[in-house]
C-alpha cells in the first residue's frame, strides 16, 4: 500500500481517445503535476498519463474512470498507484496522508487473503510449531508460530467483505478460514500423534500453566478477540502497523487451532472442547469487530467528489 508524506502518483496508460477525458477527471480532482506522454504504451501505443492526486480523491476518480461513457469505458485503461517520490519542494504533512484508498485496500486483501497452497502451508507449519510449544509448555515457540502464521490476511479479507455486504466474497472467505484452520488442527494432531508415539509426553502441569489459557475461554477471551479485531481493521488501512498487529490477531487463532489437534492426539475431551470453543469465539469476535470497525471507518470518511467533466473525447491539444 501507498504510505508516506505527499500525494501519491497515479500512472495511467489509456487509449488515445480516452486521454482528454481522463486528464479532465484529474484536473477536477485537484490533481497536480499532470503529464501526458502520447503513444508511450507498448505494444498498444496507448498514452501515458502521470499525476499527483490527493488520497481522498482516488476512489471517486476510479469510480468515474469506470463509469466514463458506459460499461466499456474502462476497457484498455491501466492504472497503478505509487508512493510520493517528490524531493523538491518537500511534502508537508496533511490530513490527506491518513485518507484510505479503499480500492487499494480491497485489491491487496483479495490478493493476500485468497486461498492458496502457500498460505495453507504456512498456517500448517505455524500450527506444528505451536503444537510443539503446547506439548512442551514453551511459550516462546507459540509466539514464533503466531509471527509465522499468515491467517491475519484471510480473516481481514473476510471481515472486509462483511463490511461491504459482499456476501459471496464473505462466504469464500469463511471457506478459506475453514480450510486453513482445519488443516492447522489436522497437522498439529498428526505431529502430536507422532511425538506421543515416540515417547514424548506432554510437559508437566507447572510448565503448562503458561499455555493453559489456550483451551480455557472466558470473558477476557471475548475482550481480546474484539480488541484484536478493531486493531486489525485499523491496521489494514495503516500498512506500517500490519506486521505487529498481525501477530496480535494470531494470538487468538493459531494456538487454539493447534491445541485442537493436540487434544485429539492426547484423547483429552475437555481440552478439545475448550480449544474448539476458544477458536470459534475468537474468530467470531475478530470478524464482528473487524466488520463493524471498517464499516464505521468507511462511513466516517469525507471523500472529495470531483465535478463531472464533459463527455470523453480527444482535443486538438492531445
Structure confidence at residue 264 (pLDDT): 93
Task: Tell me the three cell numbers of residue 237.
Answer: 488501512
Taking only the tens place, the pLDDT of each residue in 263-305 is 999 888 888 999 999 999 999 999 999 999 999 988 765 444 4
pLDDT of 268 reads: 87
* Burial zone of 197 (CB within 10 Å; 0-12 exposed, 13-18 middle, 19+ buried): exposed
Condensed to tens digits (0 to 9), the pLDDT of residues 44-67 reads 888 999 988 888 888 888 888 777
Q: Is the predicted pLDDT of residue 203 greater than 60, yes or no?
A: no
DSSP3 helix / strand / coil % (the chain, rounded to 5)? 60, 5, 30
Confidence of residue 122 (pLDDT cuts 50, 70, 90): very high
Q: What angle do CA 45, 47, 51 make, to 5 degrees?
A: 150
More confident residue, 68 or 59: 59
| CA–CA separation, 19 and 11 (whole Å) | 12
Amino acid at each position: 500500500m501507498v504510505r508516506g508524506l505527499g500525494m501519491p502518483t497515479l500512472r495511467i496508460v489509456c487509449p488515445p481517445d480516452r486521454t482528454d477525458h481522463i486528464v479532465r477527471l484529474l484536473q477536477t480532482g485537484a490533481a497536480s503535476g499532470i503529464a501526458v506522454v502520447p503513444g508511450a504504451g507498448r505494444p498498444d501505443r496507448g498514452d501515458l498519463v502521470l499525476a499527483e492526486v490527493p488520497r481522498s480523491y482516488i476512489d471517486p476518480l476510479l469510480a468515474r474512470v469506470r463509469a466514463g461513457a458506459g460499461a466499456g469505458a474502462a476497457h484498455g485503461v491501466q492504472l497503478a498507484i505509487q508512493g510520493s517520490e517528490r524531493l523538491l519542494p518537500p511534502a508537508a504533512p496533511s490530513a490527506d496522508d491518513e485518507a484510505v484508498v479503499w480500492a487499494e485496500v480491497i485489491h491487496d486483501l483479495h490478493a493476500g487473503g485468497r486461498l492458496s497452497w502457500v498460505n495453507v502451508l504456512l498456517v500448517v507449519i505455524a500450527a506444528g510449531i505451536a503444537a510443539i510449544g503446547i506439548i512442551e509448555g514453551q511459550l516462546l515457540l507459540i509466539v514464533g508460530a503466531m509471527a509465522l502464521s499468515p491467517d491475519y490476511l484471510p480473516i481481514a479479507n473476510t471481515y472486509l467483505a462483511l463490511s461491504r455486504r459482499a456476501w459471496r466474497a464473505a462466504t469464500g472467505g469463511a471457506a478459506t478460514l475453514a480450510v486453513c484452520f482445519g488443516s492447522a488442527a489436522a497437522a498439529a494432531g498428526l505431529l502430536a500423534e507422532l511425538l506421543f508415539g515416540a515417547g514424548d509426553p506432554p510437559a508437566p502441569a507447572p510448565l503448562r500453566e503458561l499455555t493453559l489459557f489456550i483451551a480455557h475461554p472466558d470473558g477476557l477471551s471475548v475482550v481480546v478477540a474484539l480488541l484484536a479485531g478493531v486493531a486489525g481493521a485499523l491496521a489494514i488501512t495503516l500498512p506500517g502497523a500490519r506486521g505487529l498487529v498481525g501477530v496480535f490477531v494470531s494470538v487468538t487463532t493459531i494456538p487454539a487451532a493447534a491445541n485442537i489437534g493436540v487434544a485429539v492426539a492426547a484423547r483429552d475431551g475437555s481440552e478439545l472442547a475448550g480449544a474448539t470453543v476458544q477458536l470459534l469465539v475468537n474468530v467470531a469476535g475478530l470478524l464482528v469487530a473487524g466488520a463493524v470497525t471498517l464499516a464505521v471507518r468507511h462511513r466516517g470518511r469525507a471523500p472529495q467528489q470531483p465535478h463531472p467533466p464533459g463527455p470523453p473525447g480527444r482535443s486538438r491539444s492531445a
